[in-house]
A and B are shown apart, each in its own frame.
Chain A
Amino acid sequence: MAEIAAAPTVRIDEPQEVGVEPRGYWVTVGDRLMRDRMTVAVGVMTILIIGLAVFAPFVATYDPLQGGVLRRLKPVGTPGFFLGTDETGRDIWSRLVYGGRLSLICGIMPVLGATWVGGTLGLLAGVGGRLLNTLIMRVVDVFYAFPSVLLAIAICGVLGAGIGNTILSLTVVFTPPIVRVTESLTTQVRSRDFVEAARASAAPLHAIIRQQILPNVLGGMLVYATSLVSISIILSAGLSFLGLGVTPPNPEWGLMLNALRQAIFVNPVVAALPGAAIVITSLCFNLLSDGLRSAMDIKLPS
Chain B
Amino acid sequence: MRKLITTLSLLSLSTLAIAADAVAQTEKQATNWHAIIMFCIFVAMTMGITYWAASRTKSTSDFYTAGGGITGFQNGLAIAGDYMSAATLLGLTAMVYTQGYDGYIYMLCFFAGWPIILFLMAERLRNLGKFTFSDITAYRLDQGKVRTMAAISSLTVVCFYLIAQMVGAGQLIKLLFGLEYNTAIFVVGLLMMVYVTFGGMVATTWVQIIKAVMLLSGGTLVMFLAMSEFGFSFTNLLEKATAVHKLGDKLMYPGALLKDPVTAISLGLGLMFGTAGLPHILMRFFTVTDAKEARKSVLYASGFVAYFFNVIFLMGLCGILIVGQNPEFFEGGTIGGKLIGGGNMVAMHLAKAVGGNMLLGFLAAVAFATILAVVSGLALAGASAISHDIYARVIMKGQASEATEIRVSKIATICLGFVAIVLGILFEKMNIAFMVGLAFGVAAAANFPVLILSMYWKGLTTKGALWGGYSGLISAVCFVLFSKSVWVDVLGNKAALFPYTQPALFAMPIAFLMAYIMSKADASARAKQEIEAYEDQYVRAQTGYGAASASNH
Same assembly: no
Chain B residues within CB distance 8 Å of chain A: none
Chain A residues within CB distance 8 Å of chain B: none
